[in-house]
């Protein structure tokens, strides 16, 4: 299968594809009554030399002695692209539908490429583009330059929508009409340059096809009443021996009955949507909601709704786009879009990584590691880490009062004591991985760590490490010397002034 059935010209995200080079026309009735139409009957101009023909064309002598242009762009899809000059039938024929209506020379081989007579029937655009159903039939002689001007989706659109004007010619523009040679004039005074031309789409592959780009386009977004009026497309060839051509169309911007004062009030998980409707309007309103992070996935939708409407089960701190389709009777639907973001919600707890005891020159320390919550529900502005050391064992007989130990945090961290100022700023860490060290630790203690995450909506529930930083026993810091009690010459006793401190050793 050859790829030359594709018209390589994209515009406003559409591809014009030529599926046929001939459609029924009024010429068919004439041909049926008096036989196939001749070039003279069809007013095909004569030529004196090949430079009067379009790009790649050739001036060929006909059976009656006149010379007329033939070109590759006139070939039917079944005609081969490449050919052999030594084989007079290697380019086949134009097909029965063409031959039965038009008495023209058959395709011939020129410089190893098939050339054909011009086309006389409009070329349908498939799939159909609103406002542009067909392209003008291809011609081979530069003198036959003609153009069409069209607007898509229509020559009458509603205010605030988009429209694309097309100006398409019936010849290969190369070596004939420059990129700047086609432009639009609004209301006879305002020149408007196309924003897309055939020359943006030419490539080396073009010469392997029979079709090629031949349309200039101008796209207007958010059209206003000032965009209404007449639009004239003007095509000016390079060579001034060929006259310029122009074609005019009328374009109107309509004012549609619309909804007004759209407001969206959102909290973390819900959004209330309200709007006003002009008195007496019977509009049908359809709503679709998409997350902006994955716009192709619809998260909520409802048809034929009334104001106000509540949308629930939304994600906190999530940007959304709401598409509002307004349908007014048989008029073309009008689509508005509104963007909003839900408020932040209380975050999930952080994700725990590890807790461990490490030896340093200044004593034992406890290192705590964590990552951001799986659902931050907003921007995390602080983390809180609390490390508490409790004495692991005290003998039942001990009357020593023991207190919990809150070791000091090192560098960027703080040990949370309930003061909201003692938070950890995540911006001080280079990545989404956090680690804090606390110490020095005391002996005979189990250190437990809890972590919170906080955003503007509040603080998460704390999460505790299942593991602990555990320290071994150690000698007491101080043992007060006892007093000697002499009872007999050979017996004495010792009396300690206080019970031994069991904070570091039972």
For residue 8, the model assigns a pLDDT of 30
Integer Cα distance of 320 and 336 in angstroms: 14
Domains and CATH numbers, the chain: 259-341 (2.60.40.10), 351-470 (2.60.40.10)
For residue 1, the model assigns a pLDDT of 32
Q: How many CB atoms lie within 10 A of CB 263?
A: 13
Integer Cα distance of 72 and 141 in angstroms: 12
Asked if residue 444 lies in contact with residue 473, where contact means CB atoms within 8 angstroms, the answer is: yes
Per-residue pLDDT in tens (0 to 9) along the chain, 506 residues: 333 332 233 333 233 333 333 333 445 444 556 789 999 999 999 999 999 999 989 999 998 899 999 999 899 889 998 898 889 889 999 999 999 999 999 999 998 899 999 999 999 988 888 999 999 999 999 999 999 999 999 999 888 889 999 999 999 999 999 999 999 999 999 999 999 999 888 765 555 556 778 999 999 999 999 999 999 999 999 998 999 999 999 999 987 677 889 999 999 999 999 999 876 667 899 999 999 887 778 999 999 999 999 999 999 999 999 999 988 876 678 888 999 999 999 999 999 999 999 998 889 999 999 999 999 999 999 999 999 999 887 666 666 666 889 999 998 899 998 888 889 999 999 889 999 999 999 998 999 999 999 999 999 999 999 999 999 877 666 666 777 776 666 676 766 666 666 666 55
Reported pTM: 0.51
3-state secondary structure at position 156: strand
Q: C-alpha angle 87/91/97, rounded to 5°?
A: 140
How many DSSP H helices and E strands does the chain contain?
A: 2, 36
Q: Tokens 């939304």 identify what position?
A: 314
- Alpha-carbon distances, residue 194 vs 151, 154, 187 (angstroms): 13, 18, 16
Integer Cα distance of 167 and 147 in angstroms: 7
DSSP per-residue string spanning 458-484: EEPPPEE-SS-EE------S--PPPEE
């Amino acid at each position: 299968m050859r790829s030359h059935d594709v018209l390589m010209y994209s515009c406003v995200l559409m591809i014009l594809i030529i599926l046929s080079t001939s459609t029924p026309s009024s010429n068919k009735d004439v041909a049926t009554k008096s036989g196939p139409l001749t070039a003279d009957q069809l007013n095909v101009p004569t030529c004196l030399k090949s430079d009067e023909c379009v790009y790649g064309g050739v001036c060929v002598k006909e059976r009656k002695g006149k010379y007329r242009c033939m070109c590759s762009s006139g070939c039917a899809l079944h005609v081969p692209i490449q050919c052999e000059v030594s084989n007079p039938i290697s380019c086949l024929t134009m097909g029965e539908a063409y031959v039965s209506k038009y008495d023209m020379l058959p395709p011939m081989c020129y410089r190893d490429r098939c050339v054909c007579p011009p086309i006389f029937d409009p070329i349908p655009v498939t799939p159909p583009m609103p406002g542009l159903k067909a392209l003008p039939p291809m011609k081979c002689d530069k003198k036959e330059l003609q153009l069409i001007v069209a607007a898509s989706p229509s020559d009458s659109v509603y205010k605030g929508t988009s429209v694309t004007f097309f100006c398409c010619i019936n010849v290969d523009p190369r070596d004939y009409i420059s990129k700047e040679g086609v432009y639009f004039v609004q209301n006879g005074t305002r020149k408007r340059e196309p924003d897309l031309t055939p020359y943006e789409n030419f490539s080396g592959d073009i010469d392997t096809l029979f079709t090629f780009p031949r349309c200039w386009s101008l796209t207007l977004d958010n059209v206003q009443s000032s965009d209404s009026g007449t639009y004239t497309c003007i095509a000016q060839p390079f060579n001034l021996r060929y006259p310029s051509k122009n074609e005019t169309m009328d374009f109107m911007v309509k004012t549609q009955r619309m909804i007004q004062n759209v407001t969206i009030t959102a909290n973390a998980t819900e959004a209330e949507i309200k709007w006003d409707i002009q008195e007496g309007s019977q509009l049908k309103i359809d709503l679709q909601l998409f997350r902006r992070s994955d716009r192709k996935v619809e998260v909520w939708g409802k048809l034929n709704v009334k104001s106000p409407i509540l949308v629930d089960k939304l994600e906190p701190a999530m940007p959304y786009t709401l598409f509002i389709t307004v349908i007014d009777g048989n008029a073309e639907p009008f689509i508005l879009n509104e963007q909003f973001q839900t408020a932040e919600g209380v975050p999930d707890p952080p994700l725990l990584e590890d807790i461990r005891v490490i030896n340093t020159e200044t004593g034992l320390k406890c290192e705590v590691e964590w990552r951001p919550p799986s659902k931050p529900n907003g921007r995390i502005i602080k983390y809180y880490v609390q490390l508490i050391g409790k004495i692991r064992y005290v003998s039942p007989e001990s009357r020593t009062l023991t207190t919990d130990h809150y070791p000091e945090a090192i560098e960027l961290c703080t040990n949370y004591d309930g003061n909201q100022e003692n938070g950890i700023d995540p911006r001080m860490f280079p990545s989404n991985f956090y680690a804090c060290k606390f110490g020095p630790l005391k002996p005979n203690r189990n250190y437990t760590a809890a972590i919170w995450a906080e955003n503007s909506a509040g603080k998460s529930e704390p999460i505790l490490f299942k593991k602990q930083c555990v320290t071994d026993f150690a000698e007491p810091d101080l043992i007060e010397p006892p007093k000697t009690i002499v009872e007999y010459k050979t017996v004495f006793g010792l009396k300690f002034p206080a019970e031994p401190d069991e904070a570091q050793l039972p």
